[in-house]
A and B are shown apart, each in its own frame.
Chain A
Amino acid sequence: EPEVTQTPSHQVTQMGQEVILRCVPISNHLYFYWYRQILGQKVEFLVSFYNNEISEKSEIFDDQFSVERPDGSNFTLKIRSTKLEDSAMYFCAGQGPGANVLTFGAGSRLTVL
């Protein structure tokens, strides 16, 4: 069964460094999402992306965050200057046209020191 693939599975970085998390959705996916889960807390919506632009974003998704899908395949989340509180699991999800299902990736764990 097709999967949403996320890399890296775990990244450790120093505070202030830039981080890029990558997601490869299933080929027919049109809608893309990033969520995150801070350790021990609930899953939070960050951003949704459709037709090469952000369709919706949460308050968490400030100027330090950006998303893009430059090559029509990889969907990336960039954190420009990481803070300690950015440490979390980041989940990518994709959705096909007219589909009721949202397929999540396995997540990328980000640890900011």
Chain B
Amino acid sequence: AQTVTQSQPEMSVQEAETVTLSCTYDTSESDYYLFWYKQPPSRQMILVIRQEAYKQQNATENRFSVNFQKAAKSFSLKISDSQLGDAAMYFCAYGDRDDKIIFGKGTRLHILP
């Protein structure tokens, strides 16, 4: 069965600094998707970034980028120039072609002014 592990329950970063959130996963599939979702206090799940496993190039969205290591089954999220609005829970998730999605337990990110 697929699993997603986020080993950092909480992290803090100084405003304007860079922070990396870790995520590892386990699957026997070769074709899948990986996601990072942000959950602010509003409880909405905001899709931050999406990576297709067959693409070697790391996905980027403005200040957000990933380091996707398929062989190591690692999918970390880097947030550059951290802003106060980045404070939230971040969930790493694995999705397969049947739209099954598995979430990690989340990492709470604090931004220090």
In the assembled complex, the Cα of A106 lies from the Cα of B3 at a distance in Å of 11
User: Hey, which chain B residues are within 8 Å of A104, CB to CB?
Assistant: 102-103
Question: What's the least CB distance linking B90 to chain A, in Å?
Answer: 11
- CB pair B101 A107 closer than 8 Å: yes
- Report B75-113 residues with CB < 8 Å from chain A CB: 89, 91, 93, 99-103, 105-106, 108
A33 interface residue, CB < 8 Å from B?
A: yes
Taking the complex as formed, is A65 at the interface, i.e. its CB lies under 8 A from any CB of chain B? no
Asked whether A44 is an interface residue with its Cβ less than 8 Å from the other chain, the reply is yes
What chain B residues lie within 8 Å of A109 (beta carbons)? 99
CA distance A91 to B101 in the complex (A): 9
- Identify the stretch in A14-22, A35-43, A71-79 within 8 Å (CB) of chain B at 4 or more residues: A35-43
B21-40, CB < 8 A from A: 37, 39
Rounded to whole angstroms, the CA-CA distance of A93 and B100 in the bound complex is 15
A100-B10, A102-B39 known; A37 vs B101 contact (CB < 8 Å):
yes
Q: Which residues of A contact B100 (CB under 8 A)?
A: 89, 106-107
Instruction: Give the residue name and chain of the B residue nearest to A89 (CB).
Output: B99
Question: In chain B, what residue has the closest Cβ to A9?
Answer: B100
CB proximity of B41 to chain A, nearest CB, Å: 10
Shortest beta-carbon distance from B61 to chain A in Å: 13
Interface, chain A (partner B; CB < 8 A): 33, 35, 37, 39-40, 42-45, 48, 56, 58, 89, 91, 93, 100-104, 106-107, 109
